[in-house]
Amino acid sequence: MKDPKKKRDVIVAAHGGGGEMTKRLLESRILPGITNPALAPLTDGAVLDLPPGRLVVSTDAHVIRPIEFPGGDIGRLAVCGTVNDVAMMGARPLALALALVLEEGLDLAVLERIMRSVAESAEEAGVSIVTGDTKVVEKGHGDGIYITTTGVGVVAPGVSLDAARIRRGDVLIVNGSIAEHGLAIMAARERLGIQSSLKSDVAPLGGLVQRMLETRADVKFLRDPTRGGIAGVVADLAETTGLTVEVREADVPVSPNARHAAEALGLDPLTVANEGKLVAVVPQGDAERVLAACREFEHGRDAAVIGRLVEAELPLAELVTRIGGRRIIQRPSGAELPRIC
């Protein structure tokens, strides 16, 4: 509908009323690009045929400002975030449900771009959007658009991820340079002019995870270091396993652009959110197989072993610095970068 004051097509309250305008919005702006046999009936749910294995279900609400950012947008973030949550359970992601909360005044051209991104990201991740919902809220009650996604996947027989199996001597692997998502969002949000080439790392990791598992390496643990970053993951590991996690600063991949941005913003890259990275724990003897599998993918080319688990009187997460010192790695105490995913 045209807004006579702004002379552009925007979301209005009637788009959420369930009538003819809702139907036209779905047909013209939301469904193109994501329609498939499971979604086509537009019923309140989807009936799926799933392969043998254990079912994994994960759901996530996505709120980010700005909704379009260097390297992606809220649509790509929603698809990749949930696909990755399913993959971190050792499952092959298969399908997503997608719920949109649209704010009055959202430019329909922006919605169209976001839905195009949803479709492209789902295709990249190898999943289908099989059901969904759309609501509209009054102007001033949202950041343009919020998206909730629910993903389903299946864990193949024989796959067993369990932090209880982690032992002394196991190593930590990350699939690439860290901190790029959170830093790109902050730089864009505050218009700081920091390294225009800095982009979010948001990417689907389901294929990479499946390739890691296909190597027959004993992958014991997977986690995507989103809010809280690497710091949150290693602190959780120390607490869960009763072992000390030693992270070697010199081995943690951080791109020059990300390092520069972190220094300018006064942030520790270890605590900054990622959206296309994972942390894996494997026996030291399996590390090379897992690294080789990661490096087959664009988002795994900089994969590296960043640390190990060791016995200690008091389990801690510790950073071994470049000059040989040590400091405790702690979870961020609050939200250094709010509304980033």
Q: Please check the confidence at residue 2 and state whether its pLDDT lies above 60.
A: no
Beta strands in 249-300 (DSSP E): 279-282
State pLDDT tens for residues 37-67.
999 999 999 999 999 999 999 999 999 999 9
In a 13 Å sphere around the CA of 83, the CA atoms on its Cβ side amount to: 31
- Number of other residues whose CB lies within 10 A of the CB of residue 190: 10
254 φ/ψ angles, rounded to the nearest 5 degrees: -135, 125
Domain ranges for the chain: 2-155, 163-328
CA dist list (Å): 268 to 105, 133, 156, 273, 337: 37, 38, 37, 11, 12
Task: Check: pTM over 0.85? Answer yes or no.
Answer: yes
User: Would you call the peptide bond into 256 cis, given omega within 30 degrees of 0 as the criterion?
Assistant: no
Separation of alpha carbons 207 and 126, rounded Å:
8
State pLDDT tens for residues 131-180.
999 999 999 998 999 999 999 999 999 999 999 999 999 999 999 999 99
Nearest to 179 by CA among 129, 215, 131, 229: 229
- Number of other residues whose CB lies within 10 A of the CB of residue 214: 10
State pLDDT tens for residues 62-119.
999 999 999 999 999 999 999 999 999 999 999 999 999 999 999 999 999 999 999 9
Query: Which pLDDT score, from 0 to 100, does residue 228 have?
Result: 92
Separation of alpha carbons 85 and 259, rounded Å:
26
Give the CA-trace dihedral at 133, 134, 138, 140, to 10 degrees. Answer: 90
- Beta-sheet pairing, 128-137 with 91-103: parallel
Determine whether 187 is exposed, middle or buried from the number of CB atoms within 10 Å of its CB (0-12, 13-18, 19+).
buried
Separation of alpha carbons 326 and 123, rounded Å:
44
The amino acid occupying position 12 is: V
User: Structure tokens of 298?
Assistant: 């664009």
Helix (H/G/I), strand (E/B), else coil: 24: helix
In a 13 Å sphere around the CA of 301, the CA atoms on its Cβ side amount to: 4
Q: Which fold has domain 163-328?
A: Phosphoribosyl-aminoimidazole Synthetase; Chain A, domain 2 (3.90.650)
Please state whether 167 falls in left (phi above 0), alpha (psi between -120 and 50) or beta: beta
State pLDDT tens for residues 235-277.
999 999 999 999 999 999 999 999 998 998 889 999 999 999 9
336 secondary structure, DSSP code: S
Query: Which pLDDT score, from 0 to 100, does residue 8 have?
Result: 73
2-155: CATH, from 3.30.70.100, 1.10.238.10, 3.40.109.10, 3.30.1330.10: 3.30.1330.10
Query: Which pLDDT score, from 0 to 100, does residue 312 have?
Result: 85
User: Structure tokens of 185?
Assistant: 């969002």
2-155 with 163-328: one CATH topology? no
Beta strands in 194-298 (DSSP E): 221-223, 244-248, 279-282
Query: Which pLDDT score, from 0 to 100, does residue 193 have?
Result: 58
Separation of alpha carbons 225 and 298, rounded Å:
18
